[in-house]
C-alpha cells in the first residue's frame, strides 16, 4: 500500500537527512585545520547586542567594549597603570584665562576708584610684591570690552506631583568690562589671592539678575538656583590645548584633524542627538581650531577632571556626519521632507556602519547575531596581530561555555563556579580581570533607623563578606572598603574593613535601644526591627548576596524580607523615587576619574539622581568640591583618599566586595613578544589597572597545539 510506504519512508528519510549533517560539522580540533583563516580570527561572545556604534550616542559598557580602541581612538588614553597618556593627541597643555569684572562702584584698598586701568596697575604692583610667584606664569593682562554672552543651558524644573523635567533655555548675559588674565597653568586660588589686592569682598557674589535674560522667560524659575553659575565677578576659563598626531586617517582615507574634535563636541551637545554624555561636555565654552592639528578647548569653569573626559570619548568623522553629509544621506534614502527637520545623527546609517581611526575597521553587523571587524592595515600605531574580530551575541553564560568548548568562541567571561572548573581544562587558560566594579548594600538614610550610623555599622558587621568571597565567588574577588576601586590610586589602602563580628553588631544595636523579644527578634519601643531588602532579578550573584545577607541579619534578630524586581521596575519604582529601605546593587565604572560628585554629593540626593542613599556629609561635600578644583595630581589623590575614608566611616553603604571577573580563553592565545626574541611570547596576564586585554593588539593564537602543554 503506497500510503503506508510513504508514511514510513518519509520520516525515515527526514531523520537520516538531518542526522547525517553531523558528520560534516567542524569540531573544535578540526576547525583550524579546515580553514586557515580561523587562527587569524578572534571570536568573542557578548550577552546582548550593542545599540549604536557611535560613542556620542551611547555610553553603555557593551557598546563601549566594542568601540574603545577598536573602531575609534580617543584623544587621550589610560595606560596599563591608569595614567593618562597620548593617543590621537600627541601632547597637551593646560593653561587658563581668568576674567575679572570691573566694578566701577568699588574702590581699591588704597582708595583709587576701580577701573580697568587701576586694576591692571594694582596687579602689576602685587606681582612685584605678595604675588611674585605668579609673575612667571602670568602671560598677559588685557582689558576685554563689554559684550554679550549667549549660552544654551539646561536645568531641572520641579513639576507638580514631585516629578521633575529637564528644561533648556538660551541664557544671554550682558557682560561688563572685564580684565582678562592669561596664565600658563591653572590657578584655582587666583581670585582668593587677588582679593586682598582688589579689596575685601571684591569677588563676593553680586546681584546678576539685571544682567541676565532667559529665553523662554517661563524657564527662568528653574535657573533661580543656578544664577551664580551663569555669571560671576571672577570666572576661571581653563584651556586645554591638544596637539594632534599628524598623518592619522579615518578608515575611509580622510585625514583626521582638529575640526573632527570640535565636531565631536558639537555632536554631543546638539539636543537633537539626545546624547547621554552631554553633562560631561557642557562645561566646555567652545573649541577653537587655530590650525588642522591644534584643538583649543576652553572651559566655562574649573574642573580638574574634565581632561579625563577626552580619554573616554572616541573621535567622530565630521565629513560623514555634518549637516551636508546628513542632507546627502536623506536624499539618498528619500526621507520625506516632513521628517528632514528631525533627522539627526541618531537616525544616520553611520551608527550601523561606523568609521573611525581605530585599529579595526567595521565590516558587517547582523543585529542580535554577530559583528565583524577587519584589521586596519593603515593604523598609525601598533597594528593588531588578528586579521578579524567577530563579536557574537550569546545571551547566556552556560551557552557561552558550550561554545568555548566547541571552539566557536575564543574567550568568554565565566561565572566564578565555571572558572573554578575550567582552570583544570588543559585546552583553556583562565585569567581574572580586576578593574572597576564593587557590590554594595545601600541603606535609605532618610528613613529611621538607617539614619543612625551605629545601625548601619551593626548591619555591616553581621555579614561575613569573606565567606561570600570564598564560597560564592570561589575566591574570585577581594573586599571593598569604600567608594574608590582598589586598582586606582584614589583608593585609600589604610581604610579599615568592617570586621565580621555578630556579637559587636548586637551590642551596637542594643546601644541604640533594641532588645530581643520572646521570638528572638529585635524590638525597640515595642516596634520590631523589620525592613525589606530589594535587588534586581537576573543577576545570580546579587541574588545570592541578598539571600546570604538576609539570613545573616535574621540570625542577628532582624526581620528582613527580600524581593527581586526586574531591572527597569527596580529602578523606576524603588531606587529612583527613593522608595526603599535597603537594596543590593553594584557600581561599575570610571576608574580614571576621582570625581564622585554624582554619587556622594549631598546635592545629588533628589529623585532620579545617583546619590540613592541621601548621604549628606558637609565634610564629604567639601572634599568632593575640592577634588574638582585641585589640578595637582598628588594633592588630588590625597583628597580622594580622605574622601574614601570619610565615606567608609559613615557606612552609607555596606561595601561588600570587588569581584575579579574571570575570563576563560583558548590556551593557545598569547601575547606576541618579538622584542624578547623570535617566536617568543608572553602569557596573558592582568595589568596593574586590572585589565586583561590592554595588550589585545599583540594577542595571537598559536598554531601548534603542542605548545599548549608547555
Window 156-175: residues binding other proteins (CB under 8 A): 156, 164-166
Q: Report how far residue 577's alpha carbon sits from residue 608's, in angstroms, rounded to the nearest whole number.
A: 7
Q: Which stretch binds other proteins (CB under 8 A): 362-370, 428-436, 481-489, 684-692?
A: 362-370
* Contact pick of 114, 171, 240, 390 for other proteins (by CB under 8 A): 390
* DSSP codes of every residue in 151-206: EEEEEEEE-GGG-EEEEEEEEEEEE--EEEEEESS--TTHHHHHHHHH-TTTTS--
State yes or no: residue 514 binds other proteins (CB under 8 A): no
- Taking the C-alpha atoms of residue 538 and residue 204, their distance in angstroms, rounded to an integer, is 53
Q: How many residues does the chain have?
A: 710
65 binds other proteins (CB under 8 A): no
Q: What does the angle CA 178 – CA 140 – CA 230 come to, to the nearest 5 degrees? A: 30
Indicate which single residue of 259, 397, 516, 626 sits in contact with other proteins (rule: CB under 8 A): 397
* 286 versus 543: smaller Cβ distance to other proteins: 543
> Residue 226 or residue 680: which is nearer to other proteins going by CB?
226
Instruction: Establish if 554 lies at the interface with other proteins (CB under 8 A).
Output: yes
Stretch touching other proteins by CB under 8 A, among 101-109, 133-141, 249-257, 399-407: 399-407
182 contacts other proteins (rule: CB under 8 A)? no
Q: How many residues bind other proteins (CB under 8 A)?
A: 119
Contact status: 548 vs other proteins (CB under 8 A)? yes
Q: Please name every residue paired with 298 in a beta bridge, in sequence order, or none if there are none.
A: 239, 286
Binding of other proteins by 154 (CB under 8 A):
yes
CA atoms within 13 A on the CB side of 32: 17
Instruction: In whole angstroms, give the CA distance from residue 128 to residue 137.
Output: 13
Q: How would you write 50-88 as a 3-class SS string?
A: CCCCCCCCCCCHHHHHHHECCCECECEEECCCCCEEECC
State the nearest-atom distance from the C-beta of 384 to other proteins, in Å: 18
Stretch that binds other proteins, among 258-266, 462-470, 518-526, 695-703 (CB under 8 A): 462-470
Window contacting other proteins (CB under 8 A); options: 226-234, 410-418, 446-454, 692-700: 410-418
- Please tell me whether residue 513 binds other proteins under the rule CB under 8 A: no
Max CA-CA distance within the chain?
Answer: 122
Residue 347 makes contact with other proteins by CB under 8 A? yes
- DSSP code string of 230-270: H--SEEEEEEEEEEEPTT-B-TTSPBP-HHHHHHHHHHHH-
Residue 532 engages other proteins in binding (rule: CB under 8 A): no
Output the smallest distance, CB 637 to other proteins, in A.
20
Q: Please report whether residue 470 would count as binding other proteins according to CB under 8 A.
A: yes
Residue 176, interface with other proteins (CB under 8 A)? no
Q: Is 31 in the site for other proteins (CB under 8 A)?
A: yes
- The nearest distance, CB 593 to other proteins, in angstroms, is 10
Cα 511 to Cα 522: distance, rounded to the nearest angstrom: 12
Residues 588-617 that bind other proteins (CB under 8 A): 589-590, 598-599, 606-610
Q: Candidates 215, 229, 566, 619: give the one binding other proteins (CB under 8 A).
A: 566
Q: Which range of residues in 79-87, 139-147, 365-373, 489-497 is near other proteins by CB under 8 A?
A: 365-373
Q: At closest approach, how far in Å is the CB of 243 from other proteins?
A: 27
- Closest contact distance (angstroms) between CB of 464 and other proteins is 8
Cβ nearer to other proteins, comparing 17 with 140: 17
Task: Identify the H or E element spanning 127.
Answer: helix 116-128
Task: Find the binder of other proteins among 303, 351, 481, 687 (CB under 8 A).
Answer: 351
- Least Cα distance to 186 among 135, 238, 138 occurs for 238
DSSP 3-state assignment of 662? Answer: strand
Residue 516 interacts with other proteins (CB under 8 A)?
no
- Applying CB under 8 A, the span of 84-92, 144-152, 432-440, 572-580 interacting with other proteins comes to 572-580
Segment interacting with other proteins, rule: CB under 8 A, options 16-24, 126-134, 138-146, 485-493: 16-24
CA-to-CA dists, residue 48 to 280, 517, 664, angstroms: 26, 49, 19
Q: Which of residues 233-272 bind other proteins (CB under 8 A)?
A: 271
Task: Give the range of 195-203, 205-213, 415-423, 488-496 binding other proteins by CB under 8 A.
Answer: 415-423
CB contact at 8 A, 689 and 487 = yes
Give the one residue of 148, 368, 425, 632 binding other proteins; rule: CB under 8 A: 368
Residues 6+ apart with CB under 8 A from 136: 184
337 binds other proteins (CB under 8 A): no
Nearer to other proteins, 202 or 553 (CB): 553
Burial class (CB in 10 A: 0-12, 13-18, 19+), 657: buried
The separation between the first and the last C-alpha atoms of the chain, rounded to the nearest angstrom, is: 65
Closest separation between CB of residue 7 and other proteins, Å? 5
Q: Among residue numbers 649 through 708, which ones bind other proteins (CB under 8 A)? A: none
Query: Among 402, 507, 676, 703, which residue sits at the site for other proteins (rule: CB under 8 A)?
Result: 402
For residue 23, give the C-alpha cell.
Answer: 558528520
CA distance 613 to 512: 21
Nearer to other proteins (CB atom), residue 112 or residue 339: 339
CB 568 to other proteins: min, Å: 3
- The least distance separating other proteins from the CB of residue 339, rounded to whole angstroms, comes to 7
Q: Where are the beta strands (DSSP E) in 582-675?
A: 582-588, 653-659, 661-666, 669-672
- Helix ranges, 384-445 (H): 397-405, 416-422
Inter-residue contact 315 to 264 (CB < 8 Å): yes
Q: What is the spatial distance between Cα 697 and Cα 469, in angstroms, rounded to a whole number?
A: 33
Stretch that binds other proteins, among 86-94, 154-162, 234-242, 617-625 (CB under 8 A): 154-162
Residues 80, 694 contacting (CB under 8 angstroms): yes
Residue 471 touches other proteins, criterion: CB under 8 A: yes
Distance CA 428, CA 297 (A): 47
Quick one: which segment of 17-25, 198-206, 621-629, 671-679 binds other proteins (CB under 8 A)?
17-25
Amino acid at each position: 500500500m503506497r500510503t503506508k510506504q510513504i508514511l514510513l519512508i518519509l520520516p525515515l528519510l527526514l531523520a537520516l537527512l538531518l542526522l547525517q549533517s553531523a558528520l560534516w560539522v567542524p569540531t573544535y580540533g578540526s576547525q583550524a585545520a579546515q580553514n586557515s583563516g580561523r587562527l587569524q580570527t578572534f571570536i568573542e561572545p557578548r550577552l546582548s547586542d550593542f545599540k549604536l556604534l557611535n560613542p556620542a550616542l551611547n555610553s553603555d559598557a557593551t557598546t563601549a567594549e566594542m568601540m574603545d580602541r577598536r573602531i575609534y581612538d580617543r584623544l587621550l588614553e589610560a595606560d596599563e597603570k591608569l595614567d593618562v597618556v597620548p593617543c590621537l593627541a600627541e601632547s597637551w597643555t593646560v593653561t587658563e584665562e581668568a576674567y575679572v569684572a570691573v566694578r566701577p562702584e568699588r574702590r581699591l584698598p588704597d582708595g583709587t576708584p576701580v577701573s580697568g586701568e587701576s586694576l591692571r596697575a594694582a596687579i602689576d604692583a602685587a606681582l612685584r610684591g605678595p604675588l611674585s610667584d605668579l609673575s612667571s606664569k602670568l602671560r598677559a593682562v588685557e582689558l576685554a570690552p563689554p559684550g554679550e554672552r549667549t549660552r544654551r543651558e539646561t536645568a531641572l524644573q520641579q513639576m507638580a506631583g514631585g516629578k521633575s523635567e529637564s528644561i533648556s533655555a538660551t541664557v544671554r548675559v550682558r557682560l561688563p568690562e572685564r580684565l582678562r588674565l592669561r596664565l600658563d597653568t591653572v590657578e584655582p586660588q587666583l581670585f582668593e589671592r587677588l582679593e586682598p589686592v582688589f579689596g575685601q569682598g571684591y569677588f563676593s557674589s553680586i546681584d546678576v539678575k539685571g544682567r541676565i535674560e532667559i529665553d523662554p522667560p517661563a524657564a527662568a524659575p528653574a535657573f533661580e538656583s543656578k544664577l551664580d553659575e551663569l555669571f560671576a565677578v571672577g570666572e576661571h576659563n581653563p584651556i586645554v590645548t591638544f596637539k594632534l598626531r599628524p598623518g592619522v586617517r579615518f578608515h575611509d582615507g580622510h585625514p583626521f584633524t582638529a575640526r573632527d574634535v570640535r565636531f565631536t563636541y558639537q555632536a554631543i551637545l546638539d539636543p537633537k542627538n539626545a546624547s547621554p554624555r552631554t553633562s560631561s561636555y557642557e562645561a566646555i565654552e567652545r573649541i577653537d581650531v587655530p590650525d588642522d592639528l591644534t584643538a583649543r578647548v576652553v572651559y566655562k569653569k574649573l574642573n580638574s577632571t574634565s581632561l579625563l573626559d577626552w580619554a573616554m570619548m572616541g573621535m567622530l568623522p565630521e565629513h560623514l556626519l555634518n549637516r551636508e553629509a546628513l542632507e546627502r544621506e536623506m536624499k539618498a534614502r528619500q526621507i520625506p521632507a516632513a521628517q528632514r527637520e528631525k533627522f539627526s545623527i541618531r537616525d544616520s546609517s553611520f551608527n550601523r556602519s561606523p568609521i573611525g581611526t581605530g585599529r579595526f575597521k567595521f565590516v558587517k553587523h547582523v543585529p542580535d547575531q554577530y559583528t565583524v571587524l577587519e584589521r586596519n592595515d593603515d593604523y598609525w600605531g601598533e597594528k593588531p596581530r588578528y586579521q578579524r574580530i567577530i563579536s557574537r551575541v550569546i545571551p547566556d553564560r552556560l551557552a557561552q561555555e558550550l561554545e568555548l568548548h566547541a571552539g566557536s568562541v575564543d574567550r568568554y567571561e565565566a561565572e566564578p563556579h565555571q572558572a573554578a572548573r575550567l582552570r583544570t581544562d588543559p585546552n583553556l587558560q583562565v585569567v581574572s580581570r580586576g578593574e572597576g566594579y564593587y557590590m554594595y548594600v545601600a541603606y535609605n538614610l532618610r528613613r529611621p533607623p538607617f539614619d543612625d550610623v551605629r545601625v548601619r555599622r551593626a548591619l555591616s558587621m553581621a555579614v561575613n563578606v569573606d565567606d561570600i568571597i570564598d564560597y560564592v565567588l570561589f575566591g574570585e574577588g577581594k573586599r571593598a572598603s569604600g567608594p574608590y576601586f582598589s586598582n586606582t590610586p584614589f583608593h585609600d589602602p589604610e581604610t579599615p574593613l568592617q570586621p565580621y563580628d555578630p556579637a559587636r553588631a548586637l551590642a551596637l544595636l542594643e546601644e541604640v535601644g533594641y532588645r530581643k523579644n520572646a521570638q528572638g527578634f529585635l524590638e525597640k519601643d515595642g516596634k520590631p526591627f523589620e525592613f525589606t531588602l530589594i535587588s534586581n532579578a537576573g543577576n545570580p550573584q546579587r541574588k545570592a548576596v541578598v539571600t546570604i545577607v538576609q539570613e545573616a541579619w535574621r540570625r542577628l534578630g532582624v526581620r528582613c524580607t527580600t524581593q527581586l524586581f526586574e531591572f527597569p521596575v527596580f529602578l523606576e519604582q524603588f531606587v529612583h523615587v527613593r522608595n526603599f529601605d535597603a537594596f543590593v546593587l553594584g557600581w561599575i565604572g570610571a576608574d580614571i576619574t576621582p570625581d564622585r560628585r554624582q554619587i556622594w554629593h549631598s546635592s545629588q540626593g533628589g529623585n532620579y539622581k545617583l546619590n540613592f542613599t541621601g548621604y549628606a556629609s558637609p565634610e564629604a561635600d567639601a572634599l568632593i568640591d575640592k577634588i574638582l578644583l585641585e589640578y595637582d595630581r598628588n594633592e588630588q589623590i590625597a583628597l580622594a583618599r580622605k574622601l574614601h575614608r570619610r565615606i567608609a566611616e559613615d557606612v552609607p553603604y555596606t561595601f561588600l566586595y570587588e569581584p575579579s571577573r574571570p575570563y576563560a580563553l583558548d590556551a593557545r592565545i598569547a601575547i606576541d613578544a618579538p622584542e624578547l626574541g623570535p617566536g617568543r611570547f608572553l602569557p596573558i596576564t592582568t595589568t596593574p589597572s586590572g585589565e586583561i586585554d590592554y595588550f589585545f593588539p599583540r594577542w595571537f593564537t598559536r598554531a601548534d597545539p603542542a605548545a599548549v602543554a608547555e
